[in-house]
A = this chain, B = another copy of it.
Amino acid sequence: MSVRTVGQKFVELCRAGKNFDVMRTMYAPNIVSVEGDGKETAGQGPVIKKSQDWVSDKEFNGETVAGPFFNGANPDQFAVYFTLDITPKATGKRTTLEEVGVYTVKGDLITREQFFHDGAH
């Protein structure tokens, strides 16, 4: 598959709410996930667990996904803009988080994801 095809499949699954299917089927075994604070998590299992932990204390009301977007100087990457509509269980206060994700693709699998956001997520 081309990076374009991988990016389109990624966005399609996210829009269908299948974010964990993305992680299970499109993430490389050795994927590295870089959060906004720079913290890295390595390996498909630990990255999936990180997301499970993240959603465990929230109601997830929905998301929007813009993209995928491409740049010819970085032909192995695509970028996406997310809005995440969540309600932290601790506060019950609904809020929208925004982030840009930059994904690196090798051999049809995502080997790196890097999130840009503002403040704690």
| Residue positions of A touching B, CB distance < 8 A | 34-40, 66-75, 77-81, 98-100, 102, 114-118
Contact = CB atoms under 8 A, between A and B. Distances in A.
Contact of A71 (B38, B67, B81): B38
11 contacts: A36-B70, A36-B72, A38-B73, A67-B100, A67-B116, A69-B98, A69-B99, A71-B115, A77-B116, A79-B116, A100-B100
Nearest to A69: B116
Contacts of A71: 34-36, 38, 114-116
Contacts of A66: 81, 98
A71 B118 CA distance: 9
A97 to B, nearest CB: 11
The 3 nearest A-B residue pairs measured at CB: A38-B72, A69-B116, A79-B116
B38 A118 contact: no
